[in-house]
């Protein structure tokens, strides 16, 4: 699976969290526009802003995809700790 497809799957998984649908749709639009890194960075910022608690597998997916995209660690390190 390529990075874009993995990122879209991760974003879709966020629908099971308390993150507002607007933020999810915005992230999808960025991925589809070829802005995968910006999409993941924005997603992380919104997860922090809304204090969304992620499960460990989702947190690991963010870290893995972020590393593949060259995302700065500060984005995922600020995420609320997994539940």
State how far the Cα of 27 lies from the Cα of 19, in Å rounded to an integer.
12
> Taking the model in full, what pTM does it have?
0.94
Render pLDDT for 9-40 as a digit per residue (tens, 0 to 9). Answer: 999 999 999 999 999 999 999 999 999 999 99
Render pLDDT for 46-59 as a digit per residue (tens, 0 to 9). Answer: 999 999 999 999 99
Inter-residue contact 39 to 31 (CB < 8 Å): yes
Structure tokens at 40: 């993941």
């Amino acid at each position: 699976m390529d990075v874009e497809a993995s990122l879209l799957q991760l974003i879709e998984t966020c629908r099971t969290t308390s993150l507002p649908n607007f933020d999810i749709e915005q992230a999808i639009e960025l991925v589809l526009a070829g802005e995968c890194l910006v999409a993941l960075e924005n997603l992380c910022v919104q997860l922090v802003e809304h204090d969304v608690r992620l499960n460990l597998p989702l947190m690991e997916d963010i870290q893995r995809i972020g590393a593949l995209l060259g995302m700065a660690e500060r984005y995922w390190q600020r995420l609320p700790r997994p539940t």
